């Protein structure tokens, strides 16, 4: 994670102070470093502290306090509710305030649907531009060009209006020269698009790179990353996503579409102070936006809601569920109206299988689940290895060069094979499809004699040489796509993971499906295949591709319920939900046996994002005293006393420390707890006191109502800042089990927790301390953090 919006190449990783109070130095990398207390600020002069924006409650790279923000919202709503009858203006404001959530998510759904439609159309067109262009309507892709001219023959041959690049530069003859020209144009255009994408990202919005889902999960858990959902990020990610997908890199646009949707959510949240000034409430909008992103990415509104609930969101109350459902509905409706695929179907890979699955097929479906889990574990290990190498080597200094070289290798390797040359979405659609009389591709090359085109079930037949050749090409495509995806996920362009993983699983499933189909045809007397004699067919190869896709995606992401729903919404195959469930559950079991968590959780851990994973179960027998600071050997905790500090004392404390909150005690000797005051609120209160009450450096500062009524005549003006003190901070005793502390931080979203003993302050625990404690124990006992 880079602090600068436009970091220069070769810039070293920077240190972040991400939690509330901490003494710890948060370092992006493979480990966490812990330092001493009271670090000096390199640039943090006190006047800079006082000049902070009063509308921003939290600083960049800090965590929010869910409890305080929710309480702030409740107090604000109560005040508005009480004043609604005072005037017509207050009544209108009350209704606008109450309906702000529905207005925002409606706008988010509308914007997300429009963005997705434009991105889908642009990516489809640019992907085909690498192969040629429509002569009379250059804005049409290859399929639309052929259908636009009433030419039902679609492919590299048979469409008179579609011109390959060799036909544009030479004649229409098919020879080695035309192949070389098409090859060179394919490679040059692919590299050019990828280069433009990475240059745009580096120049305008570095946060637009990657999938975005690990960062979204972290932000929704309460972390602040300013600019990650900014306007420039939205524009840059939308444009470069089209370029990256069209370049033919082994990536998808589905994960980045979730990021685009969250950018829309953040943009419209700024229209209403209810969400703009309350980070906890804003995250309700971002959760609904995540659902809309998946809804338009796959045409799966219900799956999008479940994805937001299962995979992304940290805080998901019932009202957020309803709003997510509505936001996904609006986004899907807009996308259906745009109809970017030209099929009049909302789903991306609509299938119609006429043959029901048999019970014995659960065995090959389970095998696909095992293979998907193994692939997921292998992919995660290899991708993390490559990402660590990239981060710890000189390769991180040249992100543009890395993308260009990867695009060059991908284009050179992909063009000779028709299954790696074509767009991944189109490949998946062909793999899911059941062969019919209108299909004359190698993948449907069977020894069949069609006497009726209106029959619903076409019997199995022996494979011809074209099908056998297609299986060899698919095997090569499987290896190429699996290998390229390892190196592509994590580069500095928008790079999703769903479509490449689905493609790998669909290829493996189709190969196994065809093998099962030929086995049933060649051995009809076997007991398990006797049911095939009635219709002549009992194996659907496309179904195996669909199950294999779900298994691989489940093995990589470890999604379960949401993945099954997304898959049957994606294909319209509701009747095949049981095979999908079997494959997904087994792939998760197998994957969890080899690696902890999915690819997104692994990247969160790789980047050391402050994320408390609710899927992990803490089983150690440590106490709160083992987690808190200060511990034995550390300097004393920096505190504020309630009645014996001057403004100069507090200014020095603020300038010499970087802590974001200070416990308020009766005295440093007794350490009887009074409350907790936050750095930013304290700095703002001091600035206000200087400007409004003519306070001076020697003015006495009180954090109590027991202020002397008759101060000395020559004494400077005293000020009372009790109003900025949180007098009911969350507390635990030093003997509280650490497992309880972890659950408190997970469930309540705390930023800070004080440790007391009989009312006496013992220490303080921040989210960073909890993560550091878990990380330390996890490094000692790597198998102790069990996944639920």
Give pLDDT tens digits for 712-733. Answer: 666 677 888 899 999 889 999 9
Tell me the pLDDT band of 264, cut-offs 50, 70 and 90: very high
Query: What are the backbone dihedrals phi and psi of residue 146, each rounded to the nearest 5 degrees, phi first?
Result: -70, -45
Please give the pLDDT value at position 523. Answer: 78
Q: Once rounded to an integer, what is the mean pLDDT over residues 14-36?
A: 32
pLDDT score at 359: 85
Q: How far apart are CA 80 and CA 74, in angstroms?
A: 10
Residue 278 scores a pLDDT above 50: yes
Mean pLDDT to the nearest integer, 91-110: 93
Q: Three-state SS for 227?
A: coil
Average pLDDT of the chain, as a whole number: 83
Distance CA 302, CA 572 (A): 13
Alpha-carbon distance of 322 to 217, in angstroms, equals 20
What is the 3-class SS of 290-359, one letter each residue?
A: HHHHHHHHHCCHHHHHHHHHHHHCCCCCHHHHHHHHHHHHHHHHHHHHHCCCCCCCCCCCCCCCCCCCCH
Would the pLDDT of 398 be above 60? yes
pLDDT for 381 equals: 96
Tokens found for residue 684: 């703002």
- pLDDT at residue 330 above 90? yes
- Of 165-179, 217-231, 358-372, 536-550, the range with the lowest mean pLDDT is 165-179
pLDDT for the residue 112: 96
- The mean pLDDT of 279-288, rounded to a whole number, is 93
Please determine, for residue 788, whether its predicted confidence score (pLDDT) is greater than 80: no
In three-state secondary structure terms, 475 is: helix
User: Where is average pLDDT lowest: 93-97, 135-139, 311-315?
Assistant: 135-139
Token pair listed for 336: 């259906």
The rounded Cα 131 to chain-centroid distance in angstroms is 32
Report the length, in residues, of the chain. Answer: 788
Where does the pLDDT of residue 502 fall: very low under 50, low under 70, confident under 90, or very high at 90 and above?
A: very high
User: Would you say residue 352 has pLDDT above 80?
Assistant: no
pLDDT of amino acid 1: 34
In the chain, pLDDT over 70 holds for what percent of residues? 84
Q: Which of 81-95, 145-159, 625-639 has the highest mean pLDDT?
A: 81-95
Q: Is 212 left (phi over 0), alpha (psi -120 to 50) or beta?
A: left
Long-range contacts from 694-701, C-beta under 8 angstroms, 24+ separation: 695/647, 695/719, 696/647, 697/646, 697/647, 697/648, 697/651, 698/646, 698/647, 698/648, 699/646, 699/647, 700/643, 700/644, 700/645, 700/646, 701/645, 701/646, 701/647, 701/649, 701/650
pLDDT higher than 90, residue 43: no
- Look at 680 and 782; give whichever has higher pLDDT: 680
Q: Tell me, what's the pLDDT at 525?
A: 75
Query: 524 and 491 in contact (C-beta within 8 Å)?
Result: no
Region 25-34: what's the mean pLDDT? Answer: 33
How far apart are the C-alpha atoms of 434 and 443, rounded to whole Å? 10
- % of the chain surpassing 90 pLDDT: 44
Q: Give the mean pLDDT of 347-361.
A: 77
pLDDT reported for residue 538: 77
CB 713 within 8 A of CB 723: no
Mean pLDDT of the region 672-697: 84
The tokens describing 711, both together, are: 């101060």
Neighbouring C-beta atoms of residue 692, cutoff 10 Å = 9
The pLDDT tens digits of the residues spanning 169-220 come to 866 666 788 889 899 999 999 999 999 999 999 999 999 999 999 999 999 9
Residue 117, helix vs strand vs coil:
helix
> How would you class 453 by CB atoms within 10 Å of its CB: exposed for 0-12, middle for 13-18, buried for 19 or more?
exposed
Q: What is the per-residue pLDDT for 612?
A: 86
Instruction: Give 76-106 as a DSSP string.
Output: HHHHHHHHTTT-HHHHHHHHHHHTHHHHHHH
User: Phi and psi of 446, rounded to 5°?
Assistant: -115, 160
Among residues 571, 549, 562, the alpha carbon closest in space to that of 500 is found at 549
* CB-based contacts of 516, cutoff 8 Å, min separation 6: 361, 364, 539, 541, 544
Cα separation, 568 vs 303, whole angstroms: 9
Q: Which residue has the higher pLDDT, 119 or 451?
A: 119
**Residue 242 pLDDT > 70:** yes
Q: What is the mean pLDDT of residues 231-236?
A: 95
Handedness of CA 119, 248, 542, 367 (dihedral sign): negative
Residue 265 has pLDDT above 50, yes or no: yes
Please give, one letter per residue, the 3-state secondary structure of 24-72.
CEEECCCCCECCCCCCCCCCCCHHHHHCCCCCCCCCCCCECCHHHHHHH
Mean pLDDT: which of 347-361, 441-455, 654-668 is highest?
654-668
- Binned at pLDDT 50, 70 and 90, residue 617 comes out as confident
* The token pair that represents 588 in the structure block: 């998760």
Q: Name the pLDDT band for 369 (thresholds 50, 70, 90).
A: very high
- Residue of 599, 624, 630 whose CA lies nearest to 743: 624
Cα radius of gyration rounded to whole Å, the chain: 30
**pLDDT tens readout for residues 104-156:** 999 999 999 999 999 999 998 999 899 888 877 788 888 778 776 555 444 44
C-alpha distance from residue 242 to each of 36, 65, 125, 127, 761 (Å): 47, 37, 9, 9, 56
Distance of CA 52 to the CA centre of its chain: 30
pLDDT value of position 698: 81
Which has more pLDDT, 40 or 503? 503
pLDDT average, residue stretch 428-440: 81
Give pairs for 733-736: CB < 8 Å, separation 24+. Answer: 733/624, 733/757, 734/623, 734/624, 734/625, 734/628, 734/762, 734/763, 735/623, 735/624, 735/625, 736/623, 736/624
């Amino acid at each position: 994670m880079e602090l600068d919006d436009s970091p220069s190449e070769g810039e070293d990783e920077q240190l972040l102070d991400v939690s509330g109070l901490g003494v710890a130095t948060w370092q992006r990398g493979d480990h966490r470093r812990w330092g001493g207390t009271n670090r000096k600020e390199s640039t943090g002069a006190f006047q800079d502290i006082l000049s902070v924006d009063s509308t921003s409650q939290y600083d960049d790279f800090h965590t929010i306090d869910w409890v305080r923000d929710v309480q702030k919202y409740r107090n604000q709503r109560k005040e508005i509710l009480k004043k609604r009858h005072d005037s017509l203006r207050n009544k209108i404001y009350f209704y606008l305030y109450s309906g702000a959530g529905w207005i925002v998510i409606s706008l988010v759904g509308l914007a997300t649907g429009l963005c997705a439609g434009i991105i889908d159309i642009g990516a489809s067109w640019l992907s085909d531009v690498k192969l040629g262009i429509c002569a009379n309507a250059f804005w049409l892709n290859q399929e639309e060009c052929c259908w636009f001219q009433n030419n039902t023959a679609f492919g590299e041959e048979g469409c008179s209006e579609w011109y390959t690049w060799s036909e544009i530069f030479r004649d229409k003859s098919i020879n080695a020269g035309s192949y070389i020209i098409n090859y060179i144009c394919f490679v040059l255009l692919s590299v050019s698009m990828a280069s433009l994408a990475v240059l745009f990202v580096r120049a305008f919005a570095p946060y637009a790179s990657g999938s975005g889902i690990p960062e979204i999960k972290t932000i929704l858990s309460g972390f602040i990353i300013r600019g990650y959902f900014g306007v420039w990020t939205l524009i840059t990610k939308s444009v470069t996503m089209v370029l990256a997908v069209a370049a033919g890199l082994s990536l998808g646009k589905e994960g980045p579409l979730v990021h685009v949707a969250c950018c829309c959510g953040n943009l419209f949240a700024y229209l209403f102070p209810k969400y703009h000034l309350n980070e906890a409430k804003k995250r309700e909008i971002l959760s609904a936006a995540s659902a809309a992103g998946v809804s338009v990415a796959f045409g799966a509104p219900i799956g999008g809601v479940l994805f937001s609930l299962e995979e992304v969101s940290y805080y998901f109350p019932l009202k957020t569920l309803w709003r997510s459902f509505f936001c996904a509905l609006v986004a899907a409706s807009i996308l259906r109206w745009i109809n970017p695929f030209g099929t009049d179907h909302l789903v991306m890979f609509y299938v119609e299988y006429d043959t029901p699955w048999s019970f014995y097929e659960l065995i090959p479906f389970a095998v696909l689940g095992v293979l998907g889990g193994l692939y997921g574990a292998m992919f995660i290990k290899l991708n993390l290895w490559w990402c660590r190498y990239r981060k710890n080597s000189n390769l991180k200094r040249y992100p543009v060069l890395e993308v260009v070289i990867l695009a060059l290798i991908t284009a050179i390797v992909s063009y000779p094979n028709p299954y790696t040359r074509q767009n991944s979405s189109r490949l998946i659609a062909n793999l899911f499809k059941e062969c019919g009389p209108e299909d004359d591709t190698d993948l449907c090359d069977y020894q069949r004699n069609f006497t009726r085109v209106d029959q619903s079930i076409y019997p199995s037949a022996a494979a011809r040489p074209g099908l056998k050749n297609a299986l060899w090409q698919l095997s090569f495509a499987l290896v190429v796509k699996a290998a390229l995806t390892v190196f592509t996920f994590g580069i500095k362009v928008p790079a999703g993971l769903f479509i490449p993983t689905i493609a790998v699983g669909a290829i493996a499933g189709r190969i196994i499906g065809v093998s099962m189909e030929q086995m049933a045809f060649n051995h009809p007397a076997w007991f398990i295949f006797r049911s095939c004699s009635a219709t002549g067919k009992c194996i659907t190869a496309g179904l195996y591709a669909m199950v294999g896709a779900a298994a691989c995606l489940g093995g990589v992401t470890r999604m379960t319920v949401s993945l099954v729903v997304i898959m049957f919404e994606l294909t319209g195959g509701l009747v095949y939900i049981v095979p999908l469930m079997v494959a997904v559950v087994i792939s998760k079991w197998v994957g969890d046996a080899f690696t902890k968590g999915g690819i997104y959780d692994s990247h969160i851990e790789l980047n050391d994002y402050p994320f408390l994973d609710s899927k992990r179960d803490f089983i150690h027998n440590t106490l709160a005293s083992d987690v808190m600071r200060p511990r034995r050997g550390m300097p004393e905790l920096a505190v504020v006393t309630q009645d014996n500090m001057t403004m100069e004392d507090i200014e020095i404390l603020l300038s010499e420390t970087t802590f974001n909150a200070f416990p308020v005690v009766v005295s440093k000797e007794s350490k009887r707890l009074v409350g907790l005051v936050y750095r930013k609120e304290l700095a703002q209160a001091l600035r206000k006191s200087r400007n409004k009450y003519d306070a001076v450096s020697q003015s006495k500062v009180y954090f109590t109502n027991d202020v002397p009524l008759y101060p000395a005549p020559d004494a400077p003006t005293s000020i009372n800042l009790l109003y900025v003190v949180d007098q009911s901070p969350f507390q635990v005793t030093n003997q509280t089990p650490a497992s309880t502390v972890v659950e408190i931080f997970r469930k309540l979203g705390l930023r800070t927790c004080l440790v007391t003993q009989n009312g006496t302050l013992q220490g303080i625990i921040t989210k960073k301390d909890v993560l550091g404690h878990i990380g330390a124990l996890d490094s000692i006992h790597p198998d102790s953090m069990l996944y639920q």
